Chain A
Amino acid sequence: MSDRKIGVYICHCGGNISDYVDVKKVREAVQGEPGVVVAKTAMFTCSDATQQEMVQDIREQNLDGLVVASCSPKLHLFTFREVARRAGLNPYQYTQVNIREQCSWTHTDDKPGATEKAIRLIRGGIARTALTEPLEPIKIDTVPKVLIVGAGIAGLRAAVGLSDLSISVILVEKSTAPGGRVAGLGKMYPHGKNGREIISQLVDEVKKRKNITLFTGAELVGKSGSIGNFTVKIEVGGKKVETVEASVGSIIVATGFEDYQPAAGEFGYGIDGVVTLAEYKAMLDNSGGKPALGGREIKSVVYVYCVGSRQQTGDNPNKYCSRYCCNAAVHAAIESAEADPKIRQFHLFRDMRTYGKFEALYTEARDKGSVFIRYSDAEPPEIQKDAGGRLKVTVKDLLTFGEEIVIPADLVVLVTGMVPRSNNALVDVLKLPVGRDKFFNEIHPKLRPVETVVDGVFICGTCQGPKNSAESVASALSAVTQSASILKKGYVELEPLIAMIDPDKCKICDVCTGACPYSAIEKGQHRGKEVAVVNEAVCKGCGGCAPVCPANAINLKGFTDDQMESMIDAMLKEIV
């Protein structure tokens, strides 16, 4: 029998768990497990009231282990560790058992099975808890400095934002000048601000700040260390390539997007007079809103929407919506109509996504004479040159009974979306996670929207997903906030659940070093003997080294072999 005193709390999660798992039965089945002195159920274990109850139980019953069977630890591991800490229990003597994502939600068709599985999972959790020891987090002093990769509008604004908070910045830009995409823009929607002016304002500000160092023609080529104290290597180009090394507390990635480049022939791309939205915008910006083509005034424009976005077919289709393009296209149409009120403009769209206040732009474009035609994804418009060498667009308009319309046009604008940049080198250096859409992925769009799974590496702007300029700035400032909330504290605490090597057993064979994806295992000395040593700040506790060690010298704190074995035993026990 265990001499531990463990409290077990089983969550209904509203009905998320209890609709499929018989929570009462589970409680009955685990309350007699070795060491369990408290076994309770709760509607929401994460609720404040239940948290208070746990604190009270831990204090009153002197608990030395806590198990909460609820949702994924991704959601609430820290919540309940904090409960333990508040109650005076070492947070690492807490185990979260996931009976929601890994049980009730996956077995909605088998309630008895789900209940049995929950019992087994919780027994495993109790067994692990019974063998937990108090651990202390690894404390690392933070460097009040941030590396920002990319000096587009997001990177520049983030740099100024951090500088405002007395945090130093190293701003690294791959191209020869800062400014990114916005630097090439004239009037931007919705407020008509000039992109070039905004950027030059920001660049001036960056240059004024003593605590911002801007490197252009530079690339991040190496990163080591961990959150709070990374060592980064930057290659700065120029006549002579220089390598700069610096310590930073966090890294913000703001590497932006690329325009979708239509394939030759895609919606007539390649035909003279068929341009992308970016190209058209440049024509507008460079001609005061009255662009010409081959010296000829443009009297009619056809916009074809969703080029390169919302693709359903083909190899590697871009399934996502590029968010900014509807707004940008109607804005371009307004600009064109303002310069030439007689211009004829036709918009061939699938869904007009002028979301929120941008609806007003859509209305304004219609008021200024733009005609909107809805096409079906199944029958996209065709763009050809007619016999006279003029562009003609053929489309079936769903708004007028599917009538086939042929529109002669001087210019066809393919409203192209955003695609992720290919940033393989950077992905390699930072181990950045990439989502289904190939943009960088945040941990959680709501809980941790600028954080990545790599602690201390944040993303903002369009490298995370399509955004307009103002939205990129907002996300950049959010990344500033996230960095500052860590660096202003002065220290970070890292998980102590890392590998430990028994130096007496270690025979220094190099197998573990090869298995470690983080280069966290180094050579060191122990009583005059060369042994493998874990760099605590670098080890992520992935456990990759533990099973490969031929001498069985490696254990993972919090998940020791003993713990794993006792969990397996507990899970396999007969359910009466």
Chain B
Amino acid sequence: MNYDILIVGSGIGGMESALKLGDMGYKVLVVEKEPSVGGKMILLSKVFPTLDCASCISTPKMAATTHHPNIDVMIYSEVEQIKRGKNGKFTAKVRKKPTFVNSAACTGCRQCEMNCNVAVPDQYNSDMVARRAAYIAFPQAVPKKAVIEREGTSPCSYTCPAGIKAHGYVALARVGKYKEAFDLILETTPVIGSLGRACYAPCEGECTRGSLEGPLPIRRIKRFIADTHYRENPEPQRRFPETVGKKVAVVGSGPAGLTAALHLARQGYQVKIFEAAEQAGGMLRLAIPAYRLPKDVVDRDIKNVTALGVEIETGSRVENPAALKEQGFDAVFVATGTPVARSLQVDGENLDGVMNALEFLSKINLGQKIDLTGKTVVVVGGGNVAIDSARVAVRLGAQKVIVQYRRSREEMPAHHWEIEGAEKEGVEFRYLSAPLKFIGDGARVIAVKAIQMELGKPDAGGRRKPVPVKGSEHQIAADMVITAVGLGPDTRSFKAELELNKNGTIMVNQDTLQTSVPYVFAGGDVVTGPSMIVNAAGQGRKAAFFIDRFLKGEELAGAGYNYRLPPVDQQKVLARQKSYRKLEPVAATEHLKRGVRDFSEVEAPLSEEDVWYSTGRCLDCGVCSECSQCIATCPANAIDMTMQEERVEVEACAVIVSTGFKLFDASLKTQYGYGKYKNVISGMQMDRLLAPTRPYNTVLRPGDGKVPDNIAFVLCTGSRDCTVDNPICSRVCCMYSVKQNQLIMGALPLADVTVYYIDVRAFSKGYEEFYQQAGAMGANFVKGRVAKVEEKEDGNLVLYYEDIDNGGKLSQAEHDLVVLSVGLLPNAEVFNLFSGVKLEADDFSYVKEINEDINPAQTSIDGVFVAGTASGAKDIPDSILHAGAAAAQAAAYVERTRMSK
């Protein structure tokens, strides 16, 4: 792209230069980093000394700039580097930030904004109120197009192996949109109630709030969402997607199979699940005890899948998945899990009363009655399955339940809360103890012959290897022994068609989950080995994605599955706020009772209040929560979450930098209490309070919403002040304060206004008269610098100052609102724009005008000009004149280069 002039920054200066150059016939590109043109002026109330409304001055210029035939505008874009090329022209690299909204389609209707569930401080209202993550910068924005602020993927969502948008459902639950939250999770997986109870919740481990008081109870929030939805909808709505006429078989109805079936059915495939067991659900059904995961929850989770028309055939074992093609299936997904218990390889394993844990748990879960009243049960193993078995044994009436584990507690792979739960229910633990054989009295087991172990050197996996202690053999009496030492896949019958790994798992392409038979895909534990529900669900979703592509005849490699923004930097998230209110996490409550005899759920659900409180602790790390409400509600279908940033290179003959100024951060003057005392605000905040688009529709003080009646202005806050390294005057603060005086006296006729000043610098045309007018209207001007501000209990503020006009004595005065008339500072970012040539700064770090007397706007780089406050603080009329001069200089430069050719 080729332009005559590139203008960086579209404040009032940049727009003025652009419009005039465009009128002269030059091709102009304006690059603006914000989502709207207009700079800071559009945010002001009225402007001195004519008291025109800033919007009225700005909006026509904003509209004219964007509609001008000779001007192109790139909003939400940043110039990264400007270099002079060999032909003498400048090339600029511009980064177009993704807005995630297709601007051509967006109508500015604000539906996305109104349905967005993330609130962040509204920088366009000086952080006094909140705006949404999906937002239009301000009502007069040009172009009036929405932007979605996404700083990255929130860590909770990013870490989820299934790709569940944890932040999204937390944000939805926060505003009580439980149905939408449920639907959002259902986008990813159907096993919502199950995950809400039995997920190991890696999201919580990544929660940024974890480094403050502790993470959000994300899993339990999910459970609340599922419970609420299931209570209100005992049966799901049956809805059969339009069929595409192809059939897919899913072998196995665990979390992987169910998740894949859901996605495939949604795509219009006719899906049939084959399940070897008598009931569907896989490990959710068979392995996890009901006190942890009630089986009606599993039933309801499964209904999410069958509601889409998916058929489940139970008691149907598939020996050869590849052969399903002959039954008319176009593709097969194998998700048969790890149903085979590993043997201990000790004598007596086949005695009566010795059972593997999976068999034991399945029997109970499928409704068999086993009475262990008065019995002693030994459970061998240290994983979650072992603990589950032990706790089930307790519930079946066992008098004594012993978990025998060959390492110590620290090495135990079971979740610590499961171990603690078991302990509280009366399970005994024998650590560093291993079975040597099971001793039978005839066919029935009566004891375990055990040996004491000690921890030796770490093994290949890094865990210390248990070594038997010689001579420590002993017996543990047992009526029943449950072995829980690992599970494996049952793939012997697949061998003929599918390639397997050594450990019996199915060999797949890790990227696509395709097996050696192209139309057969596999995922879940049968591929990964024993894992977690949420991992299996993730595999199911992934398999469905690639099966769909496969069946559509699309390329599988490089398909861009699961495109996400990189995770946000948690340190940056925490740095957004100076301090955090302490919000302790909701305590985990489990109903645990020694010798419990029933299978009722142990974990207490969160109350709705707990959910509100907990979701309120969310830090909205990624800003956008990906809750997808904007996508659902945008009438123009304009939301595009896959939008990526773009880099373009443009060429221009001349450059105008109109990058504006920064406001002084009033909190640096600690003695004035900004940021500490709520009723001390900045001049910009007062301007927002007075603006036509004001946040509260009146002037009020932030501390308690009271309408102030005695307002103080502290001039020269951050200007003419060596202690904050800004020795110069900011030119505008006196006058904007005088303007605010007049506006306040108009808005609040009874309010007193006092201005504490050093010199009132009303120097330009009409300014002195404007200042005198404020005095005549009743503003009280006190010469004297304010030394400090103190807050009283009622929120009022006491100012300590030197009353120079009255003998110079030290005085105090009480006010109910203090406005710090903050000054302007240079925007140093401009100096990073250029490479290979140096843009020089003046003594005060503004862009240096090398020959201000005769060539205003000319910088140290030939062909680069500066407009407006980038070269020094200026009021609006001076900025506009300066921008006009910059335009004349740039035009003259372009003409000179044309003529020299």
Contacts of B873 in A (CB 8 A): 356
Stretch at the interface among A115-123, A440-448, A515-523: A440-448
Q: Is residue A400 contacting chain B, with contact meaning CB distance below 8 A?
A: yes
Q: Which residue of B lies closest to A325 (CB)?
A: B763
Report whether B728 and A319 are in contact in the complex, using a CB–CB cutoff of 8 Å: no
- Whole-angstrom distance from the CB of B886 to the nearest CB of chain A? 8
Q: Is residue B497 contacting chain A, with contact meaning CB distance below 8 A?
A: no
Stretch at the interface among B335-343, B458-466, B890-898: B890-898
Report whether B892 and A164 are in contact in the complex, using a CB–CB cutoff of 8 Å: yes
> Of B24, B63, B766, B783, which contacts A398 at CB under 8 A?
B783
Q: Is residue B804 contacting chain A, with contact meaning CB distance below 8 A?
A: yes
Contacts of A71 in B (CB 8 A): 53, 56
Q: Which residue of A lies closest to B876 (CB)?
A: A446
> Of B20, B52, B730, B762, which contacts A485 at CB under 8 A?
B20
- Whole-angstrom distance from the CB of A466 to the nearest CB of chain B? 8
Given A319-B772, A359-B727, A401-B807, is A44 in contact with B765 using a C-beta cutoff of 8 Å?
A: no
- Whole-angstrom distance from the CB of B418 to the nearest CB of chain A? 57
- Whole-angstrom distance from the CB of B477 to the nearest CB of chain A? 82
Q: Which residue of A lies closest to B805 (CB)?
A: A398
Q: How far is the CA of A164 from the CA of B898 in the complex (A)?
A: 12
Contacts of A292 in B (CB 8 A): none
Q: How far is the CA of A276 from the CA of B107 in the complex (A)?
A: 63
Q: Is residue B829 contacting chain A, with contact meaning CB distance below 8 A?
A: no
Given A14-B55, A320-B768, A464-B765, is A48 in contact with B62 using a C-beta cutoff of 8 Å?
A: yes
Number of A-B pairs, beta carbon distance below 8 Å: 250
Q: How far is the CA of A392 from the CA of B694 in the complex (A)?
A: 56
Q: Is residue B704 contacting chain A, with contact meaning CB distance below 8 A?
A: no
Report whether A48 and B872 are in contact in the complex, using a CB–CB cutoff of 8 Å: no
| Complex interface bits, A445-479 against B, C-beta within 8 A gives 1, otherwise 0 | 11101100000000000001110011101111111
| Complex interface bits, B749-763 against A, C-beta within 8 A gives 1, otherwise 0 | 000000000011111
Given A164-B895, A360-B843, A489-B23, is A198 in contact with B768 using a C-beta cutoff of 8 Å?
A: no
> Of B53, B61, B731, B759, which contacts A16 at CB under 8 A?
B53
Q: Is residue B486 contacting chain A, with contact meaning CB distance below 8 A?
A: no
Q: How far is the CA of A97 from the CA of B796 in the complex (A)?
A: 45
Report whether A16 and B888 are in contact in the complex, using a CB–CB cutoff of 8 Å: no
Contacts of A14 in B (CB 8 A): 53, 55, 139, 691-694
Stretch at the interface among B320-328, B506-514, B877-885: B877-885
Contacts of B769 in A (CB 8 A): 319-320, 436-437
Stretch at the interface among B126-134, B253-261, B664-672, B848-856: B848-856
| Complex interface bits, B720-740 against A, C-beta within 8 A gives 1, otherwise 0 | 100000011111000000000
Q: Is residue A422 contacting chain B, with contact meaning CB distance below 8 A?
A: no
Contacts of B878 in A (CB 8 A): 471, 474
| Complex interface bits, B548-569 against A, C-beta within 8 A gives 1, otherwise 0 | 0000000000000000000000
Report whether A320 and B843 are in contact in the complex, using a CB–CB cutoff of 8 Å: no
| Complex interface bits, B805-828 against A, C-beta within 8 A gives 1, otherwise 0 | 101100000000000000000000
Contacts of B108 in A (CB 8 A): 48-49
| Complex interface bits, B672-701 against A, C-beta within 8 A gives 1, otherwise 0 | 000000000000000000011110010000
Q: Which residue of A lies closest to B772 (CB)?
A: A319
Q: How far is the CA of A230 from the CA of B143 in the complex (A)?
A: 39
Q: Is residue B43 contacting chain A, with contact meaning CB distance below 8 A?
A: no
Q: Is residue B194 contacting chain A, with contact meaning CB distance below 8 A?
A: no
Contacts of B884 in A (CB 8 A): 449-450, 474-475, 477-482
- Whole-angstrom distance from the CB of A311 to the nearest CB of chain B? 10
Q: Is residue A28 contacting chain B, with contact meaning CB distance below 8 A?
A: no
Contacts of A161 in B (CB 8 A): 888, 892
| Complex interface bits, B103-119 against A, C-beta within 8 A gives 1, otherwise 0 | 00001100000000000
Report whether B728 and A188 are in contact in the complex, using a CB–CB cutoff of 8 Å: no
Q: Is residue A157 contacting chain B, with contact meaning CB distance below 8 A?
A: yes
Which residues of B38-59 are within 8 A (CB) of A? 47, 49-50, 52-53, 55-57, 59
Q: List 7 A-B contacts (CB under 8 A).
A: A49-B144, A161-B888, A164-B891, A319-B769, A319-B772, A357-B842, A446-B877
What is A's interface to B at a CB cutoff of 8 Å?
13-16, 43-44, 46-49, 51, 71, 75-76, 78-79, 82, 86, 157, 161, 164-166, 188, 191, 193, 198, 201-202, 309-310, 312, 319-321, 323, 326, 351-360, 363, 374, 376, 398-402, 435-437, 439, 444-447, 449-450, 464-466, 469-471, 473-482, 484-486, 488-489
Task: Report, nearest first, the 8 A-B pairs whose CB atoms are least far apart.
Answer: A14-B692, A478-B884, A485-B23, A164-B892, A477-B885, A465-B765, A351-B759, A49-B144
Supply 15 further A-B pairs (C-beta < 8 A) apart from A44-B140, A319-B769, A356-B872: A47-B140, A48-B143, A71-B53, A79-B63, A165-B891, A193-B853, A198-B853, A358-B729, A450-B884, A471-B878, A474-B884, A476-B885, A477-B889, A478-B881, A484-B891
